[in-house]
Each structure stands twice: as structure tokens, then as C-alpha cells.
Amino acid sequence: MDTIKMNFRFTDVSASNVYDSLLNSDTHSAFTSSHCVCSNRVGASFSAYDAYITGQNVELIEKSKIIQTWRTTEFPEGSKDSVLEIELEEQGTDCELTLTQTQIPEGQGIRYKNGWTEHYFEPMQAYFAENA
């Protein structure tokens, strides 16, 4: 199994905005340019990138932590969901995001690590800059 651990700093964005954007269907759809169904309720299911990504909210601590089960359509049949943990910390006017994702099918980790930056964090930063 692969594991990802990475950090990203959102400039001039609050932890509250990052947290809300990850759990709000309209905002999530806007910054990914895809259909997303999200929720800010523990136990709720979610899907992103036109159902390429699916999972469930396991633990939510407002403005600071999101833990979800997470998988893509590329996970082998019968494989366990990965576990995604996102921690958010205010750093002045910025937000420091720490992502840890475990139980990723062997050999897929590097692809998802690159995907987090290219398809999530960079588009989110651009979205926040355009909608400030």
C-alpha cells in the first residue's frame, strides 16, 4: 500500500474558506470544473470529478480537520478505501494544509500526489484569487 504526505500553503486564504470549499458542492464543482456532491455532515457520502472520486466523511472538525474514506474508479475491485486526512492551520493571512493519505493501492500513490497539486490545490488557489 502507498502513503502520501504533503503540504500546501494557500496564500491570502483562511482555513475556514479552504474547509468550506472542500465540503460545499457548488464551490467544489466550481474550482474543479466538474460535477461534485459534497456535504459537511459526518457519515455523508461524497463524489468529485464526475464520480471519479467517491467516499464518506468520517470525522469533521470545523475549519481544521477533514477525515474521509476515499477511492477512485482506478482502485482495483475489492480493494479497501484509502483514508484521507486533511489538517488546516491558519498562518497569518494564509492557510497551511497538511494532507496524509494512507492505504492507497500499490503503485498509485505518486499519481494521486501529483493530482492533489494539479487538480485540487492549484485550481483552488486560482479560484480564491479570482473570487476574493
Taking the model in full, what pTM does it have? 0.95
- Of the candidates 77, 53, 64, which has an alpha carbon nearest to the alpha carbon of residue 16? 64
Structural domain containing residue 97: 2-130
CATH code where residue 83 lies: 3.30.530.20
Given a cut of 90, whether residue 132 has pLDDT beyond it is no
- The confidence band for 93, taking pLDDT boundaries of 50, 70 and 90, is very high
3-state SS, one letter per residue, for 47-110 = EECCCCEEEEEEEEECCCEEEEEEEECCCCCCCCCEEEEEEEEEECCEEEEEEEEEEECCCCHH
| β-strands 65-72, 82-91 pairing | antiparallel
What pLDDT score does 78 carry?
A: 94
Number of domains making up the chain: 1
Tens of pLDDT along 19-57?
Answer: 999 999 999 999 999 999 999 999 999 999 999 999 999
